[in-house]
């Protein structure tokens, strides 16, 4: 595997775990498969990445640090932003501020607002959530609330973090039960407001959903 050097300065505490790096590799490889006409240089680097299973089972901390440089470089080229490290997030949640989408395996996407995050990362959302790309584009051209609900109903977790440390989340009951409950319990925010979205009820924004306490 070729390591892309000198792309960023990486501190040990900034490097995600092997499990999280494996999840990013899986996402990049899926994106590569779904976009055969992507930039040849990026495609070549993705093809040379080790398997997620091998990373999780065999990689040392130092190897993860080197691999992270390549993964973050590719992620930034494709999505336009750096990887948000969930390991760092858990220990220092106040560094998170604003709008995010949380996906299974701890992948965080950030942006100006929920709609913009999806718009700027449409191909990644399609790959990560196994969405039909044409259907996603139709939602992007329509009502932003309908788009937000579509992503939530397909496994995304909508997040908003205030300056005072309050955190707001929306997801389905299935997502909550499958993995999000355990994931969110790790975040040490001052206050967490979680709402479970019912697919049979009209989605109107942050006021939608049944509140739960963890």
Q: Which of 34, 115, 113, 48 is nearest to 78 (CA)?
A: 34
Task: Encode pLDDT of 132-169 as tens digits.
Answer: 888 999 999 999 999 999 999 999 999 999 988 899 99
Ramachandran region, residue 165 (left: φ > 0; alpha: ψ -120 to 50; beta: rest): left
The count of other CB atoms within 10 Å of the CB of residue 176 is 21
Task: Encode pLDDT of 10-49 as tens digits.
Answer: 456 667 788 888 888 888 888 888 788 888 999 999 999 9
Quote the pTM value: 0.71
Contact 196, 173 (CB under 8 A): yes
Spell out a b/e string for 30-41, using b for 16 or more CB atoms within 10 Å of the CB, else e: bbbeebeeeeee
User: Does 88 score more than 60 pLDDT?
Assistant: no
130-to-21, 39, 126 alpha-carbon distances in Å: 19, 22, 5
User: Does 91 score more than 60 pLDDT?
Assistant: no
Spell out the residues 6+ positions from residue 36 whose beta carbon is closer than 8 angstroms to its own: none
Task: Please tell me the predicted confidence (pLDDT) of residue 120.
Answer: 84
User: Does 93 score more than 80 pLDDT?
Assistant: no
144-to-86, 152, 170 alpha-carbon distances in Å: 27, 12, 15
SS3 80: coil
Burial of 14 (0-12, 13-18, 19+ CB in 10 A): middle
User: Does 89 score more than 80 pLDDT?
Assistant: no
Contact 88, 14 (CB under 8 A): yes
Contact 145, 59 (CB under 8 A): no
Distance of CA 91 to the CA centre of its chain: 18
Task: Please tell me the predicted confidence (pLDDT) of residue 146.
Answer: 96
User: Does 205 score more than 80 pLDDT?
Assistant: yes
């Amino acid at each position: 595997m070729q390591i892309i050097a000198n792309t960023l300065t990486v501190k040990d505490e900034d490097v995600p775990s092997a499990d999280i790096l494996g999840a990013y590799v899986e996402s990049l490889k899926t994106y590569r498969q779904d976009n055969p006409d992507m930039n040849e240089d990026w495609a070549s680097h993705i093809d040379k990445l080790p398997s997620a299973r091998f990373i999780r089972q065999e990689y040392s901390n130092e190897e993860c640090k080197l691999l992270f440089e390549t993964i973050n470089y590719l992620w930034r080229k494709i999505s336009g932003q750096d990887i948000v490290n969930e390991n760092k997030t858990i220990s220092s949640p106040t560094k998170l501020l604003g709008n995010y989408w949380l996906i299974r395996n701890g992948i965080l996407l950030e942006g100006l607002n929920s709609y913009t995050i999806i718009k700027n990362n449409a191909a990644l959302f399609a790959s990560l959530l196994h969405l039909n790309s044409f259907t996603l584009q139709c939602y992007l051209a329509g009502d932003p609330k309908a788009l937000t609900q579509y992503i939530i109903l397909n496994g995304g977790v909508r997040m908003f973090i205030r300056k005072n440390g309050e955190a707001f989340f929306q997801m389905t009951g299935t997502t909550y039960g499958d993995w999000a409950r355990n994931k969110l319990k790790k975040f040490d925010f001052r206050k967490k407001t979680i709402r479970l979205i019912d697919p049979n009820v009209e989605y109107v924004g942050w006021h939608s959903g049944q509140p739960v306490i963890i």
